Amino acid sequence: DAGVTQSPTHLIKTRGQQVTLRCSPKSGHDTVSWYQQALGQGPQFIFQYYEEEERQRGNFPDRFSGHQFPNYSSELNVNALLLGDSALYLCASSLGVGFPSTEAFFGQGTRLTVV
């Protein structure tokens, strides 16, 4: 049973460019959440997708957008990259939404470096 898979594992982009990160959830999971983790910090919630719709969003600008496909996989898009967007981007999958919440399983992350 494959866990959460993310691609690519590493990425270097130039300031101002756009980037797309991909995530395949754990088998049987239908909810995908994205997190940004700066060096030495805890993960920060970006947004969550369920039934192909964005259900929740953290304090991130509109440059951060996403999509969920019918097979529950998801993409995170970041436009007009800034140096401060350099971070580890983590995808987490879980089953369903609402109480009681279940544990979330994380992928290994995509390390994005903006130069």
Partner 1 sequence: SQQGEEDPQALSIQEGENATMNCSYKTSINNLQWYRQNSGRGLVHLILIRSNEREKHSGRLRVTLDTSKKSSSLLITASRAADTASYFCATDAGDDKIIFGKGTRLHILP
Q: Please report the sign of the dihedral spanned by the C-alpha atoms of residue 13, residue 23, residue 70, residue 85.
A: negative
Identify the CA nearest to 25 among candidates 33, 15, 35, 13. Answer: 33
Report the C-alpha gap between 12 and 68 in whole angstroms.
24
Q: Does 2 bind partner 1 (CB under 8 A)?
A: no
Please identify which residue in 34, 35, 64, 72 interacts with partner 1, judged by CB under 8 A: 35
CB of 26 to partner 1, least distance (A): 11
Residues near partner 1 (CB under 8 A): 4, 31, 33, 35, 37, 39, 41-45, 48, 55-56, 58-59, 88, 90, 92, 97-109, 111
